[in-house]
Amino acid sequence: MDTSRFRVRPGEMVRLRRRATDDTRPFNHKRKAVDKLKRGLERLVKLQELLYAENRWSLLLIFQGMDAAGKDSAVKHVMSGLNPQGTQVYSFKRPSDEELDHDYLWRSVKALPSRGRIGIFNRSYYEEVLVVKVHPEVLAAQKLPPPLMTPRIWAQRYEDINAFERYLTRNGTVIRKFFLHISKDEQRRRLLERLDEPAKNWKFQAGDLDERDRWDEYQRAYEQMLSKTSTRHAPWFVVPADHKWFTRIAIAELIGEALGGLDLAFPRPSKEQLVALAGARRRLARS
């Protein structure tokens, strides 16, 4: 699969209407993609084992998208089979009072993956240039000093996020960011499904419809975010999300490419460790 078409190039001005939400190339049916997904997940299992054993790099995966874009299911399916000891998932909700007493990156820093682990952010600090941008009242609740509440605040947040991610990559955290690009019609279908199927009623919130009414505002906010914060070291990928099965394949492929490019390997034992291993073998042979 050619995944380069999903990547947002540094400096590119993103226009989401020009990017297909239903692209499934090179597959024209789910049945033909099953084997591809299976192989992709098997590859991730092997790569995660190497990442964990080498204990030098960490991987941060960020998922963003409109309501019902499939973030939860993408995380669930793509990360299935991985060692739970080497993964951690954080879903960021409305900030607590304690979190509001700190800068907006504070709670994310606490959740970063340690070396050898994969960290998954289901939503993230990018909400600070999305929801907060669309809802000015949220920004007003963040207790910022009035002199800092200027029209440049969004440009400054893009700058700060880029600097933060550059710092992380310089210290061994590989970052991949996925925007799940769903059409408004498909979102409507999925929201109706949540109403029609009792087993999915719990997923529905009335506020989802209020956010849907702001679709165009969110699309503009996403375009700005993608354009301003996709960098060489921390790229954004706009992944078509109208077909969940394809979204999962594409994400598994992109994660595999990220880990595969690290030249991971099991640690080689030192001379002292080899001597200790030989001694352990002799002791076991005698017991």
CATH number of the domain bearing residue 40: 3.40.50.300
Statement: residue 202 has pLDDT above 80: no
pLDDT in tens, 46-57: 999 999 999 999
pLDDT in tens, 116-125: 999 999 999 9
- 3-class secondary structure, 64: strand
Number of structural domains found in the chain: 1
Q: Strand order in 87-91's β-sheet?
A: 87-91, 118-122, 58-65, 173-181, 236-240
pLDDT for 287 equals: 81
Q: Can you tell me the distance from the alpha carbon of 153 to that of 20, in angstroms, rounded to the nearest whole number?
A: 31
pLDDT for 258 equals: 97
Task: Quote the DSSP letter at residue 105.
Answer: T
Residue 151: asked if its preceding bond is cis (omega within 30°), the reply is: no
Structural domain for 152, as ranges: 3-286
181 phi, psi to nearest 5 deg = -95, 100
